Amino acid sequence: MPKQPSSNPGYEERISHNGHRLTPQRREVYEVLLAERDHPTATEVFLRAKKKIPGISLATVYNCLETLVDCGLARQVNVDREATRYCPNLNAHGHFICERCGKVLDVPLAKGALSGQLWQLPKHFTVSQTEVTIRGLCPGCDT
Ligand SMILES: [Zn+2]
Ligand SMILES: [Zn+2]
pLDDT (mean) for 101-118: 83
pLDDT of 118-138, one tens digit each? Answer: 778 888 988 887 888 999 999
Measure 123 CA to ligand 1 centroid, in angstroms: 30
Q: Domain 11-87 has what CATH class?
A: mainly alpha
Q: Which ligand is nearest to the CA of 140?
A: 2
CA–CA separation, 86 and 74 (whole Å): 7
Contact 71, 10 (CB under 8 A): no
Measure 117 CA to ligand 1 centroid, in angstroms: 21
CA–CA separation, 30 and 32 (whole Å): 5
pLDDT of 57-86, one tens digit each? Answer: 999 999 999 999 999 999 999 888 889 999
Domains of the chain: which residue ranges? 11-87, 91-143
Q: Which ligand is nearest to the CA of 76?
A: 1
**Into which CATH architecture does domain 91-143 fall?**
2-Layer Sandwich (3.30)
Q: Which of 66, 75, 133 has the alpha carbon at shortest distance from 105?
A: 133
Helices (H), 18-139: 24-35, 42-52, 58-70
